[in-house]
Amino acid sequence: MDEKQKRDGGELYEPASDEQLMKELIRAKDLCFKYNALSPLEDEKRNEIIKDLFGKTGKNFLIMPYFWCDYGYNIEIGDNFFSNHNLVMLDCAKIKIGHNAFIGPDCGFYTAGHPIKVSERNTGREYSKPITIGNNVWIGGGVKVMPGVTIGDNCVIGAGSVVTKDIPSNTIAMGNPCKVYRKLTEDEMK
């Protein structure tokens, strides 16, 4: 089993020891660099880069520079996606985001993690777990979403939150660690 297969299977893997993973990583970093260097007037070129980079894009998306990811092909976004400046998506595993997602500035989605045991961590191995974000989700500025988290439909995640556990649909959640504050009212879900 190669390192990419280990990664995709959720096992510990060594990305730096796999030539193919390193090529894919460098390709994504190069595309992100080109994306971030474009003029704000070059929407078409930016969209072409994102379509080339991501595994799937819906209709109507806008990602404000700066944007960085690890591989790109593990990212899927639905229709009407907006992200403000400084989005980081460490997509060693899948990051799936539904329709009508609004992401504030300085947000991070981190599928990658490292072992807690020092001797394992010092080998350079890591693991990855997917992140799933539902439809109609607003994620406030400075939010960090950790490996393996699912955020349900219609959620609002308060600015500055660190999301370490799943957040159920139809809720407002906030804090570090992020916790459900309250359910949305019927009127708020319209």
Q: Which residues are catalytic?
A: 114
| Separation between Cα atoms, residue 77 and residue 173, nearest integer Å | 22
| Separation between Cα atoms, residue 104 and residue 125, nearest integer Å | 31
Say if residues 169 and 153 touch (Cβ distance below 8 Å): yes
Say if strands 108-110 and 87-90 run parallel, antiparallel, or are unpaired: parallel
| Separation between Cα atoms, residue 65 and residue 33, nearest integer Å | 10
